[in-house]
Amino acid sequence: MRSLSRRALFGACMACAATPLSAQQSGWSPPAAAQRCPSRWGAADRRGSLNTMTPERMRQAAAMIREGRKIEIGHELAQTMPFFGTRRFDVHLKRTFMNPEANQRGSNEEIVIGEMAQVGTQFDGFPHQTIGDQTYNCVEIPSIATRGGFREMGIETVGMIMARGVLMDVAALKGTQTLPDDYEITVADLEQCLARQRVELREGDAMIINTGWAHLWGRDNARYVRTCPGIGVAAAEWLIARNPLLLGADNWPVECAPSKTMPNASLPVHQIALVVHGVHLLENMNLIELAATGRSEFCFVMQPLRMRGFTGSTVAPAALF
């Protein structure tokens, strides 16, 4: 029954993609609970796409490290980052004391007032997004929420991630450093990008998209958060049909915001990925150096902070060759 409901869901999504634009613009409605649950991994599953990270795939990813080269693909945490709404990250240097012993050991620390889950280069956990009061696998948010965080699917349950990473450089495909502010990436764009780069997607990949938006980070923060290019609903479904470990991009929501084909929906790809399919999102990546290498495949590594019950984590992912 699970496979039938999944096929029905994909059929509905493909029908939506084939619907004329005028019809799509009437709005987007998430699939009913009976269509999206239980997930392909069963009603008790809480890991979603992380189930695709098998020991064999980790070994294959590790075998891609031949040169011993590392490229950081996350931004630095700093007070100059772009922020949304009431999100904040304030750092206060804490000069502590000089120890009285003869070796004069001084000590310095810092106090951070702000968010650690949804700032900087960030990895979205499942409770971060909902359809109504339900998160991934139709888990009711009130049933797992506590004053101190979520008792299920907190970001501490994710652990270290190691996978084959694939960079789809859509900006390069279009011959530009940065895609236009409202550009919605299509399935055709992704297919052309993969053909141009002579690379294919495989189950369990960290599928990452370069829009060039990182060039605005810390330089034009107002424009960075106002809108952004990214994948549309059809492109998201196309990628998810290939069973990614995660979807990532160098913009703030991975998807095009606001959606051009679904203008009455608020960040529909967030619901499609996190809630419907259990696919994590990795946002605000710094892909400038990686894109400049022309590399399409690499060993992707990332470790979320082990913050119990959190909705996500600031992260420092890396590409290893």
Q: How confident is the model at residue 2 (pLDDT cuts 50, 70, 90)?
A: very low
Q: Tell me the CA end-to-end span of the chain in Å, nearest whole number.
A: 42
d(CA 213, CA 252): 9
Q: Is the pLDDT of residue 13 over 70?
A: no
The secondary structure of 92-123 as a DSSP string is EEEEEEE-SSTT--EEEEEEEEE-SSSSSSEE
Q: How confident is the model at residue 263 (pLDDT cuts 50, 70, 90)?
A: confident
d(CA 206, CA 209): 10
Q: How far is CA 232 from CA 36, 238, 243, in A?
A: 20, 10, 17
Average pLDDT of 272-300?
A: 98
- Contact 139/152 with Cβ under 8 angstroms? yes
- Contact 91/287 with Cβ under 8 angstroms? no
Q: Is the pLDDT of residue 231 over 60?
A: yes
Q: What is the pLDDT of residue 152?
A: 97
d(CA 162, CA 57): 8
Which phi and psi angles does 207 have, rounded to 5°? -95, 115
Residue 166 Cα to chain centre, angstroms: 14
Average pLDDT of 245-254?
A: 98
- Peptide linkage before 100 cis (omega within 30 of 0): no
Question: Both tokens of residue 72?
Answer: 């950081």
Pick the closest to residue 273 from 231, 302, 222 (CA basis). 231
- Contact 213/129 with Cβ under 8 angstroms? no
- Contact 217/83 with Cβ under 8 angstroms? no
What domains can you pick out in the chain, each with its CATH number? Answer: 2-81+115-320 (3.50.30.50)
Question: Residue 269 belongs to what H/E stretch?
Answer: helix 268-270
d(CA 151, CA 166): 33
d(CA 220, CA 234): 29
Pick the closest to residue 207 from 238, 244, 173, 234 (CA basis). 244
- Average pLDDT of the residues of the chain: 91
Average pLDDT of 303-320?
A: 97
Neighbours of 287 (CB within 10 A): 25
Average pLDDT of 203-231?
A: 97
- For residue 128, give the DSSP letter: G
Q: Are strands 206-210 and 297-302 parallel, antiparallel or unpaired?
A: unpaired
Q: What is the pLDDT of residue 27?
A: 56
SS (H, E, C) 25-82: CCCCCCCCHHHHCCCCCCCCCCCHHHHHCCHHHHHHHHCCCCCCCEEECECCCCCCCC
Question: Both tokens of residue 86?
Answer: 């009431």
Least confident window among 60-64, 76-80, 170-174, 298-302: 76-80
